[in-house]
């Protein structure tokens, strides 16, 4: 049980990162933030900021709908 507690504390200090996709509603003009999910429909978390930034850049490059992606620390 102590190992789980210590691991949890380390993750809290290190932090995790997620990618937020900003989707603009064409009718209202409002922007809706959407957290990206993994293939198991869970929040897609990254251990390092650089890993999240790399994936964000891939999404941004391939976006032809004008969506904007940002990395946030959780």
Is the confidence at residue 12, as pLDDT, over 80? no
Q: What are phi and psi of 67, to 5 degrees?
A: -70, 145
| Per-domain boundaries in the chain | 16-73
Note the pLDDT tens digit of each residue in 16-64. Answer: 999 999 998 889 989 999 999 999 999 999 999 999 999 999 999 988 7
- The answer to whether 56 touches 70, Cβ cutoff 8 Å, is yes
pLDDT attached to residue 14: 62
- Give the C-alpha separation, 20 to 72, whole Å: 7
């Amino acid at each position: 049980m102590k190992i789980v507690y210590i691991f949890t504390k380390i993750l809290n200090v290190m932090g995790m990162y997620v990618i937020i996709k900003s989707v603009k509603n064409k009718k209202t003009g409002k922007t809706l933030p959407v957290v990206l999910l993994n293939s198991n429909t869970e929040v897609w978390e990254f251990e390092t900021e650089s890993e999240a930034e790399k994936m964000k850049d891939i999404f941004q490059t391939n976006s032809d709908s004008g969506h904007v992606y940002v990395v946030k620390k959780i």
